[in-house]
Structure 1
Amino acid sequence: MSFLENAISAIIKGKKTVIKPIFIKEFTQDNKQLKDLIELSNKVVSGKKRLIDRDIILLKYGIDGEGNVNYELGNSFIPMLCLHDIRLQSEDYIAQLDFVLITYKFIYILETKKLNGDIEINSDGDFIRTIKSYAGKTIKKEGMYSPITQNERHVKILKDILVREKIIKAIPIKSAVIIANPKTIIKKTKCPKVIQNLIYKYDQLITLVNTELSFAKNEPEMREKQMYEIADYLVENNKPIKFDNKSKYSLTEEDFTTSKKVIIKERVVRQTLDDLRAEETVETIVKEVQFKENEIIKDEVEPEVVVAVMDVYNTLKEYRLKTSRDEGIKPYMVFSNAEMETLIKANPKSKSELHMVKGFGDKKVEKYGEEILGILNK
């Protein structure tokens, strides 16, 4: 049985069904768009994952704000029908309605905003948002598109649709912007009165609706049948937006495949841990990681080559450590990190080529040449 049929049945029996908030289309934390984004984030391995994760945070933030408004409505004891997240399309026009409240006297459209920072509305009606640090220092000020203008456009589209469909004739449709962040401060004393009366904090919402109902107590009452007709129409004609996330983030097959760069990065991290276990200094480790990332390991290098290069790198380090201990000298006296890096890049095949590597003179070539060339050739 539809909402309208329920209402008709109650009216026939002489009952008034709307005596408290009734959610015809309920708010839920189980958001499909959020689920899809989280699932996508778990699959994407490229840098685009950061963009997706940023949007997940913003979406969670918005859902949390709508949850605050929903709580206030559910505990208001106001006789009304409530609908959350209705999207209507009329020709080329789209109305996205966060909350629709259908009372006996009027329809209220609420645009919810959970904004960071403080909101100031100047005498021209411009919205200016101030972002502050935890210490209270202003980080930046920025203008923002008026949510009042946005919501009024949606109200006009809704009214045009309902009148055209002959569902309403002269029922008032009111509009309000609800700031759903409890920490946000709204400064609206300097703005035009008409704007002051359209923007409220979420904890002022119930007072707002009750005040409007009090003002309209002598106005004609809407029949319950019509209230349910409006609710039924909105639910039946709700057109949820279908997000094409692959297009939005310009995702390709490569974004879902662990790239060579990722593989290389993982190997660099593992090698860094090995270096720490070997009790190298932090400065040495940083230099070595930078060398491996920036000099040897390039995106175009195949993972197999990376493994081979790192094997040579580690083998040379082991040889240097063993030799220095055998001779009772410091490892850098066998060859320094810089000389080892140059050595690997040069990759000499003979003693004559080894002579051309910076830092390898006659004495070093004669003393360590055979072993070094053996490691490199292997």
Structure 2
Amino acid sequence: MAIFKNLLGIREIKSPIFYKEFKEENRQLFDLIELRDKVKSNKKEYIERDITFLKAGIQGERNVYFEIKNSFIPMICLHDIRIQDGDYVAQLDFILITAQFIMILETKKLNGDIYVNQSGDFIRYIKNRNGQVIKKEGIYSPIAQNGRHVRIVKNMLIKNGIIKNLPVISGVVIANPKSIVNKSKAPSKIKYEIFRYDQLTDVISNKINYYKKDYNIFEDIMKNIGEFFIKNNKSITFDYNKKYSLTEEDFIKQGVEETFKESVKEEIVESVIEKVVEAKIEVGVKKEKSYEELVDELKQYRLNKAKEEKVKPYFVYNNEMMEEIIKMKPKNEEELIAIRGFGPVKIEKYGQDIIKL
């Protein structure tokens, strides 16, 4: 029956169908809030920061989900899919399967105004209430990030015989309604790949019109692709104790008297430790580096690599990634790859050097 429908051009999919829906309840957010309420030490601040980031991300994905649901475009959609192909991992915010292409959507709820120059560099401007720029920084290209996701998806689908030459394309959605994206001088590839969430329906419709002269797959194939993603979705479990370096002491609330006693003890212990450390240094034992020392060394390493490779320093790693390195102090590549922004390529190029630092 399905074959006859395909041959006659009868379509059952007439609007967006979600094989994996967007859900307001987010397990990671629930776990973080629960952990924050249990932690009594100053590490609570790091957890609170991550909760704020995660809430912003969820709000951005909610905006995109609303646009997809109300687009009336015939397609199969999936939210929050994580696939793994050997050593390569891709966390996909949304997958849109049309009869003409597969689109991998990366949502970004970036604060500030985004400027993309003619070299394709992304620069963010943070302004105060008076509209004055108070901060300017380079950010890792979301186009490059999602391009890696597209390559992983396409290779995996072809390798498993799911598609042959169906286009797998990238879309980066700015999901913050207050952000302004200036891409007037950006390379043409970037201009067509990044857009605001309220432009999503028009973008998808235009791309369908562009590709439909060459591609128009059967609905059975669309369904097979959607089922493949569901079958290969590999959820991840976070080890928060490891991420935030939590110990039993971080969950114990000390009273004023106990805190005073502990502080006196710590002063005495620190005095003894300082003398021991000084003695050890004299005989060649290495002292653990301070935060400032690590910042200086990581910045210098980043600058040297940037000059060597003729790229911007934040292409090596940005300040947010550097802070995560210092906080987590990764001892091996497995721990380093857990930091957002470090994929197999960066690990191969810089991993061992960073771990040594």
Paired position in structure 2 for 1:147: 142
| Bigger Rg, structure 1 or 2 | 1
Paired position in structure 1 for 2:256: 264
Distance 2:246 2:8 in 1: 58
Paired position in structure 2 for 1:78: 73
Q: What is the TM-score when the length of structure 2 is the normalising length?
A: 0.71
Paired position in structure 2 for 1:179: 174
Residue type of the alignment partner of 1:257: I
* 1:247 paired to 2:247: no
**Alpha-carbon deviations, 1:231-268, whole Å to 9, x = none?**
00101110112111110000001111112xxx219x9x
Paired position in structure 2 for 1:329: none
Is contact 1:128–1:141 with CA below 8 Å preserved after alignment? yes
Residue type of the alignment partner of 1:115: L
* 1:299 paired to 2:262: yes
| Aligned residues with identical type, % of pairs | 52
Distance 1:174 1:117 in 2: 27
* 1:17 paired to 2:9: no
Is contact 1:151–1:177 with CA below 8 Å preserved after alignment? yes
* Equivalent position to 1:105, from 100, 104, 107: 100
Alignment CA distance shift 1:12-1:216 (3 Å): closer
**Alpha-carbon deviations, 1:172-205, whole Å to 9, x = none?**
1111110000100111111111111111000011
Runs of 4+ in 1 over 4 A off after TM superposition: 6-15
Residue type of the alignment partner of 1:244: D
Paired position in structure 2 for 1:208: 203
Distance 1:15 1:124 in 2: 46
1:125-136 equivalences under 5 Å are 125-136=120-131
Distance 1:27 1:187 in 2: 29
Alignment CA distance shift 1:34-1:252 (3 Å): same
Paired position in structure 2 for 1:94: 89
Paired position in structure 2 for 1:51: 46
Structure 1 residue 14: deviation in Å? 8.8
SS in 2 for 1:190: coil
**Alpha-carbon deviations, 1:111-138, whole Å to 9, x = none?**
1000000000011110000111122121
Distance 2:153 2:93 in 1: 13
* 1:229 paired to 2:224: yes
Query: Would you say how many aligned residue pairs link Structure 1 and Structure 2?
Result: 265
Structure 1 residue 298: deviation in Å? 5.0
Gaps of 5+ in 2: 266-357
* Equivalent position to 2:160, from 144, 165, 171: 165
Residue type of the alignment partner of 2:243: K
Distance 2:101 2:60 in 1: 24
